[in-house]
Every structure is written in C-alpha cells, then in structure tokens.
C-alpha cells in the first residue's frame, strides 16, 4: 500500500486508547466522482495483537446510497489479491492492505464516510474523522478529483516545530484525475488544534522553490486533468503543542466553487519555550544496546538452534548453535545474496527480514519444530520485544560480545 498508510496507523496508535489493538488508515483522504462511477482508495488494517486475528473485513458504516466492496492487495505493488469481499487472517503484530471501491447510486454532497474495520476476535478499529474516513462526493456530471499526499522533513507525517518562535513546513503533491477546473487550495487547522501565529502557502516549482512568496489564506489555480501541481505550507507559533495526531493537525483542502475536491493533512507538534530539565527528577536511563550473547540466549538458541532445524546438524542449511552462530551470520551471504546480518543496516540483514512479516523469500521464521514432519507452517512470530533487541544489536554494529 501507499507508504503513508502505515505512517497514519502509527500516528493513530499514539492517540487511541491503550486497550485498542486494531487500527486502520485510508489514503487518499478524499474522492469526488460522478454517479455510477467507481472510486477506489487504499486502506490498511494493522494489529498489535500477539496472536493472529481472523475474519478481518471492511464494511461501509455510514448510511449512504452507494455500493461497496473490498479486496486484499499486495502491500508493495497495490495489486489486488484473493477474492473480493472475503475476510482474511492477519498474523500477530501484522497488517493487511486493501483496495476499497465505493460507487454512488445518486448525487451526494461531500460526506465523511466511515467504515467498519474489524476481525472476528478483535475490533472494530477506532474511527478518526478525516484520518481513517473518506471525504466522498458524487455529482451528476464529471467533476475534478484531486488526489493529494504530504511529505514532511522526517518522512513520518509529523511537522515538528522546535524552539520558540517555532517554524515548521511540509510539502503537498497532487494530481487531478478528474475534469480540468479552477481549484482553490487552503491550509487550515483542525477544529481542536491550538491557534498558531502564521499559516502560509505557496505553489512550488519542480526543484521545490516557491513560485511566488508564501502568503496567508488560500491560492487558486487551474488544474487540468493529469496535472500535478505541488505546494509548500509553512507554520509558525509561540505556543507549545503536544503530539496528539487525532487533534493537532494542519489540513490542506482543494475546493471547486466551495465543493471539496481533495484533502490531505499532517500532524503538528512542538513550539513554545524550551523547557529546562527538572533537577529533582532523574532522567530515564538509556537502554543499553543488545549484545550478541543476549541475541544467542534469547533468540537463536531457544527458537532456532533447538528446533532440529538450525542446530549442529545444519538441517536448515545454517548452524546457529553458540560456537558457530556469529561466524555463520555476520557479514556472511544468505541464500538470497543479502548478508544474514549486515552490521548497522537492518534493512539489508536477511535474518531480520525473515523474522518479520512478508519476508523476501520463504516462510516467516521461526518455524515450528514439527514443520518438516507435520502439517504445521510455523510457530507464533517472534515477540516484538525480541525483534527490537535484534534491531538494537544490528544497529550497534553487530559486535561479538
């Protein structure tokens, strides 16, 4: 799925109740179509459960006059997979991407359409208006339909404004897949977002520079079918703003004669004076990087080398017993040519990729010890805390300690 879907889920996790274990995201945030013309968006359901969730599906929640369907997709290519309207199982700590199709049967003014993202044994995911809902409209005649996405400096959908006075900015990419129209582009604050001093916008050229000085309010331009204008939005404030992604946001709306034709947004945090450390409250001690001894004792020996797979017999083609493991994996090429462990680079470390969902080749590790003799595909996935320690060791340079 579009990468920002995952980022949106991560942001919502910081806002939702601690008891919530199922989350969802939708991109793009808005579609405007003609009656009887299907409109599609991408969605993701993510689970923080330590066990698989089953019967996961998407349903139309809002009472609108429209037909609806959902289908799973390949998370990398967005290509539909499986069959339409078929519930799926999401692995522990995993996610599933979907394409949603909504077709209006009659004209519809812009409406925040909500969906039910649920599984048989969890959910539904909490709903956040304009974050995992769809601003949808349908007209009797063809209209403009602007798809918009944001980019931030930190590439996480968050605009951070350090210090006071604080300045933050982000960029917006757009494409009009509808009719050519005069479009007004307006940045605005969420209804619960604290007031800020200045909110400015400009259209940008190909290198990313403002084509004219950024100004408050909105700007209007003609966006032809297939055109891809880009914009920059700047914000300044003296007020401190906590990271509250469901509430503290800047929205950028695209309208045609007042009718919404596109929408995107970012979370906003920072600002205010620098707060000195409280002298009588000790700082939280940093968690030390994992050692190889820890990785061996908590991951390799109990889940790999002791399952008659990666033991001294090398049944799995690789011995991970204590006396051989380090020499066999650090800097050594795997069957996929990628090093089992590339010190300092988790994304190029095959062992790390194999213990996560959707590995580049073969099943996710670890396998169940009965894998070779019974109809068992694998054990429960490695606990996220253990994966985090594996990441810590690799990012620390994978030392032999």
- pLDDT at position 123, please? 80
**How much is the mean pLDDT over the chain?**
84
Q: How confident is the model at residue 198 (pLDDT cuts 50, 70, 90)?
A: confident
Q: Is the pLDDT of residue 3 over 60?
A: no
Poorest-pLDDT segment among 47-61, 171-185, 230-244: 230-244
- pLDDT at position 163, please? 67
Q: Is the pLDDT of residue 23 over 70?
A: yes
Contact 370, 376 (CB under 8 A): yes
In this structure, the strands spanning 30-34 and 134-139 are parallel
As beta bridge partners, residue 57 has 118
Q: Is the pLDDT of residue 148 over 60?
A: yes
Instruction: Kindly report whether the peptide bond that precedes residue 165 is cis, defined as omega within 30 degrees of 0.
Output: yes
Domain ranges of the chain: 1-140, 142-274, 292-395
CA angle, corner 340, sides to 335 and 344, nearest 5?
A: 145
Instruction: Kindly report whether the peptide bond that precedes residue 28 is cis, defined as omega within 30 degrees of 0.
Output: yes
Query: The domain at 142-274 falls in which architecture?
Result: Sandwich (2.60)
- pLDDT at position 9, please? 47
Q: Is the pLDDT of residue 278 over 50?
A: no
Contact 340, 350 (CB under 8 A): yes
- pLDDT at position 262, please? 96
CA distance 340 to 352: 8
What share of the chain has pLDDT > 90, as a percent?
Answer: 47
Task: Tell me the pTM.
Answer: 0.64
Torsion of CA 13, 245, 134, 117, to 10 degrees: 10
Contact 58, 42 (CB under 8 A): no
Q: How confident is the model at residue 318 (pLDDT cuts 50, 70, 90)?
A: confident
Q: Is the pLDDT of residue 199 over 70?
A: yes
- pLDDT at position 389, please? 86
Q: Is the pLDDT of residue 176 over 70?
A: yes
Q: Pick the residue with more confidence: 16 or 59?
A: 59
Q: Is the pLDDT of residue 295 over 80?
A: yes
- pLDDT at position 286, please? 58
Same topology for domains 1-140 and 142-274, yes or no? yes
Say how many Å lie between the first and final Cα of the chain, rounded.
Answer: 39
Q: What tens digit of pLDDT does each residue of 48-83 get?
A: 888 999 999 999 999 999 999 999 999 888 899 999
pLDDT, mean of residues 214-242: 91
Residue 152: CB atoms within 10 Å:
17
Q: How confident is the model at residue 401 (pLDDT cuts 50, 70, 90)?
A: confident
Contact 361, 335 (CB under 8 A): yes
Mention the CATH class of domain 1-140.
mainly beta
Q: What is the DSSP string of 212-258?
A: S--EES-EEEEE-TT---EEEEEEEESS-B---TTTSEEEEEEEETT
Q: Is the pLDDT of residue 1 over 70?
A: no
- pLDDT at position 273, please? 54
Q: How confident is the model at residue 244 (pLDDT cuts 50, 70, 90)?
A: confident
pLDDT, mean of residues 270-276: 55
Q: Is the pLDDT of residue 321 over 70?
A: yes
Q: What is the DSSP string of 261-286?
A: EEEEEEEEEE-SPPPPPPTTSPPPPP
Residues 6+ apart with CB under 8 A from 143: 32, 33, 34, 137, 178, 179, 181, 256, 259, 261
CA angle, corner 304, sides to 300 and 309, nearest 5?
A: 145
- pLDDT at position 289, please? 83
As given in the structure block, the two tokens for residue 234 are 């700047």
- pLDDT at position 285, please? 53
Q: What is the three-class DSSP state of 71?
A: strand
């Amino acid at each position: 799925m579009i990468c920002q879907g995952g980022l949106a889920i991560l942001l919502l996790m910081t806002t939702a109740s601690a008891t919530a274990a199922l989350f969802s995201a939708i991109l793009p945030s808005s579609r405007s179509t003609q009656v009887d013309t299907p409109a599609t968006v991408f969605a993701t359901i993510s689970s923080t459960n330590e066990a698989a969730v089953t019967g996961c599906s998407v349903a139309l929640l809002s009472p609108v006059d429209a037909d609806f369907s959902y289908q799973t997709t390949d998370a990398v290519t967005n290509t539909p997979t499986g069959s339409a309207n078929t519930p799926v199982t999401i692995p522990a700590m995993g996610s599933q991407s979907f394409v949603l199709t909504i077709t209006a049967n009659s004209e519809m003014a812009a409406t925040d359409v909500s969906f039910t993202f649920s599984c048989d044994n969890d959910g539904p995911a909490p709903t956040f208006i304009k974050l995992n809902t769809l601003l949808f409209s349908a007209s009797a005649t063809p209209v403009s339909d602007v798809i918009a996405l944001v980019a931030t400096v930190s590439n996480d959908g968050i605009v951070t404004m350090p210090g006071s006075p604080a300045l933050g900015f982000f960029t917006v990419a757009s494409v009009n897949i509808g009719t050519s129209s005069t479009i007004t582009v307006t940045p605005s604050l969420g209804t619960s977002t604290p007031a800020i001093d200045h909110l400015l916008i400009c259209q940008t050229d190909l290198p990313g520079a403002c084509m004219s000085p950024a100004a408050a309010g909105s700007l209007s331009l003609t966006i032809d079918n297939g055109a891809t204008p880009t914009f920059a939005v700047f914000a300044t404030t003296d007020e401190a703003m906590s990271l509250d992604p469901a509430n503290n946001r800047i929205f950028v709306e695209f309208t045609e004669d007042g009718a919404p034709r596109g929408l995107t947004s970012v979370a906003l945090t920072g600002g205010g004076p620098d707060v000195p450390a409280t002298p009588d409250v000790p700082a939280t001690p940093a968690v030390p990087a994992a050692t190889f001894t820890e990785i061996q004792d908590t991951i390799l020996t109990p889940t790999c080398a002791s399952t008659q797979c990666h033991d001294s017999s090398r049944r799995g083609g690789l011995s991970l017993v204590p006396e051989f493991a380090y020499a066999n994996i650090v800097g050594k090429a795997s069957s996929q040519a990628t090093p089992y462990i590339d010190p300092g680079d988790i994304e190029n470390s095959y062992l790390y990729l194999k213990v996560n969902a959707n590995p580049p080749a073969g099943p996710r590790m670890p396998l169940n010890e009965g894998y070779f003799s019974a109809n068992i595909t694998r054990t429960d996935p490695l606990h996220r805390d253990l994966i985090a320690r594996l990441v810590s060791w690799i990012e620390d340079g994978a030392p032999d300690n």
